[in-house]
Structure 1
Amino acid sequence: MAALEPYKGNYYLWKYLPSLEGAAISAALFGIATIAHTLRLSKNRSWFAVPFPIGGIMEVIGFATRGVARKKTGQLMPYVIQNTLILLAPVFFAASIYMTLGRLIRMTNGERHSIISLKWLTKIFVTGDVLSLLVQGGGAGMMVMDDFAKMAEKIVIGGLFIQIIIFGLFIITVIMFHIRMHGDPVSKHALAGGFGWEPTIWMLYVVSVLVMGRSIFRVAEFVMGNDGYLLSHEWPLYLFDALPMFAVMAVFWHWWPLTPNGA
């Protein structure tokens, strides 16, 4: 029977026994979503969406490792793998979301309606995304070291704030583009790849809110600390991280960004 075990002395990596059922269901759902994304981007040659299955694979491995960790709560490696991969996977989802806006602006010839030049738009957001990835990854790697645990939490929070700021700017950019396109009689009826551009805008709103909400949850989680309610209970991770990120994959797949041939 699985039991909570200390890592060193009286130091516990886990505050609870991770749920095998929750981990298995999450890994399976993310696995299905990852396969669906891979097939669709291959069919449509939507290479800007490649980060999505990468993030999906990270979610699958992360939650599968949580399941394995149920009987290995005293071992360091399973904890590090699941914590790092689940924390960082949304950064890859964000990369595709950012690139989608640049693609949409280009396909509708709507650069004049963007508050950021198309030349810099994708570069700014993806660079911010990479910076967030590096900062969060560095912090996650330090979290298991007793002497650096508090510093690691602050580093991860910093990386999450970078993500929130970048996403906030992204949402403002999408909103302004949307408003300006509607204000232009010609652009309002523009077609991208043979289809109206607006469904993609609404898709970007939905996935952006989901990723932003998840990032805010993660900040609250780390601000409350290792002994706080959010980190010492498992259900918030599934409700405020796993579920929103699966929803992001599902929404992006269902309202797949427009392709040149409208596929």
Structure 2
Amino acid sequence: MGDFQLYKYTPTMAGAIIFGATFIVLLGYNIFIIFQSLSKVNLQTRGSRPYNKNNESSLSLSQNNVWRFKKQVLPMFIPLMVGVLMEAVGYFARTPSHGNKQLLTPYIIQSILLLIAPSFIAATIYMVFGRMMRLLNASDYSIIKFKYQTTFFVVGDVFSFFVQSAGGGMMSQSGNQDLGPKIVIAGLIIQMIFLFFFIFSEIKFTYLINKMPTTASYGNIKTSTMNLAPTDWKILNSTLIITSILIFARCVVRVVEFAQGFNGFIISHEAFIYLLDGLLMIIVSFLLLRVRPELVMFELMNQEYLEEASYNVLSSLQA
């Protein structure tokens, strides 16, 4: 490595442990609420009959929603859990550097994981938004063809992830200290471009659904169905906008950091990695978990099927 310094300061052990432990708590909370939500939705349909298109009672329809919940909703939170785990490992990896700033392996681990973890968290946001729009029958409010919307954002997110990973790995290699940051900046800019279009999509959706509400968006899911979710889709939508903006702001900070170079102000002051990266990701993760998006979507599923069942009953009475 020659005279090249991995850190321009002595990494704090206390900060690394506190932030690493905080992300571990968030990961544990994430796992807990997933199992809790699964238990709640299973309890709602205990003793009900299997779904049968010829018997569309609310119980059978609700049980079909449990299957959809397991197969379509819960997997969306895997990227979030992976991202939170990466954040935890990344901050814990900084602890050995407190005693030896030139340890290469911990530096590479924390550098890459803290850089790419938000991409995984953003992937969950993209998928939740797409599923919510579908359940609200608001696919016409998408800025691109709806069937490609989630794929478009997730693929862009994955692409930026690979570019950032490549740049992060090169930064610690002798002779690549100039090229590595440039590749990281390119990856961050790609992520920011997709985040910008996503935020625009969210804001456009919010405007249109308030101006021209869909039938599904009228219902108050906290009172009209099973009352499992602590919030409704409007609060969930606002949370998705806020968390997207926070991730975007974090990307701006990291772009400025790498643009300034290894002797820049941001990279030379440890506080930035905690306050304008780690803290923002803690807030993002907590907000996503707090609004319980999985239960909001389950309530929307039940509202959708209860309305369908009611329509079928009315149709049969009129026949």
CA distance in 2, matches of 1:86, 1:115: 31
1:227 aligns with 2:263: yes
Equivalent AA in structure 2 for residue 124 of structure 1 = F
| TM-score (normalised: structure 2) | 0.77
Q: Tell me, what secondary structure is at the counterpart of 1:52?
A: helix
Show the counterpart of 1:121. 149
Show the counterpart of 2:202. 174
CA distance in 1, matches of 2:181, 2:236: 36
CA distance in 2, matches of 1:118, 1:105: 9
Equivalent AA in structure 1 for residue 144 of structure 2 = I
Deviation at 1:115, TM superposition (A): 1.9
Show the counterpart of 2:31. 38
CA distance in 2, matches of 1:142, 1:192: 50
| Contact 2:8 2:267 survives alignment (8 Å) | yes
Equivalent AA in structure 1 for residue 192 of structure 2 = I
Show the counterpart of 1:4. none
CA distance in 2, matches of 1:70, 1:148: 25
Q: Tell me, what secondary structure is at the counterpart of 2:191?
A: helix
| Contact 1:132 1:160 survives alignment (8 Å) | yes
1:49 aligns with 2:42: no
Deviation at 1:41, TM superposition (A): 2.6
Deviation at 1:54, TM superposition (A): 0.6
Show the counterpart of 1:15. 8
Q: Quick one: structure 1 residues 192 and 129, their matched pair in 2 at CA, closer, same or farther if it must change by over 3 Å?
A: farther
Show the counterpart of 2:218. 189
Gaps of 5+ in 1: 1-7
1:244 aligns with 2:280: yes
Deviation at 1:170, TM superposition (A): 0.2
CA distance in 1, matches of 2:81, 2:213: 38
Deviation at 1:33, TM superposition (A): 0.5
Aligned pair count reads 256
Deviation at 1:253, TM superposition (A): 0.6
Taking the TM superposition and a 5 Å limit, the aligned residue runs for 1:126-141 are 126-141=154-169
Q: Percent identity?
A: 34
| TM-score (normalised: structure 1) | 0.92
Show the counterpart of 1:259. 297
Gaps of 5+ in 2: 38-69, 303-319
1:85 aligns with 2:110: no
Q: Tell me, what secondary structure is at the counterpart of 2:243?
A: helix
CA distance in 1, matches of 2:148, 2:3: 51
CA distance in 1, matches of 2:240, 2:133: 13
Q: Tell me, what secondary structure is at the counterpart of 2:140?
A: helix
Equivalent AA in structure 1 for residue 22 of structure 2 = L
Equivalent AA in structure 2 for residue 19 of structure 1 = T
CA distance in 2, matches of 1:31, 1:121: 32
1:29 aligns with 2:5: no
Instruction: Give per-residue Cα distances to partners, 1:66-116, cap 9 Å, x unaligned.
Output: 012212322210110011111111010000000011010111111112222
Q: Tell me, what secondary structure is at the counterpart of 1:159?
A: helix
Show the counterpart of 2:310. none
Moved more, 151-160 or 177-186: 177-186
| Contact 1:108 1:192 survives alignment (8 Å) | no
Q: Tell me, what secondary structure is at the counterpart of 1:148?
A: coil
Equivalent AA in structure 1 for residue 206 of structure 2 = H
Moved more, 40-49 or 163-172: 40-49
Aligned-residue CA RMSD (Å): 1.7
| Contact 1:31 1:60 survives alignment (8 Å) | yes
Q: Quick one: structure 1 residues 79 and 179, their matched pair in 2 at CA, closer, same or farther if it must change by over 3 Å?
A: same
| Contact 1:139 1:156 survives alignment (8 Å) | yes
Deviation at 1:208, TM superposition (A): 0.7
Show the counterpart of 2:93. 65
CA distance in 2, matches of 1:65, 1:254: 27
Deviation at 1:259, TM superposition (A): 2.7
CA distance in 1, matches of 2:239, 2:112: 27
| Contact 1:51 1:93 survives alignment (8 Å) | yes
Show the counterpart of 1:218. 254
Q: Quick one: structure 1 residues 12 and 185, their matched pair in 2 at CA, closer, same or farther if it must change by over 3 Å?
A: closer
Moved more, 193-202 or 140-149: 193-202
**Higher Rg of the two aligned structures:** 2
Equivalent AA in structure 1 for residue 109 of structure 2 = I
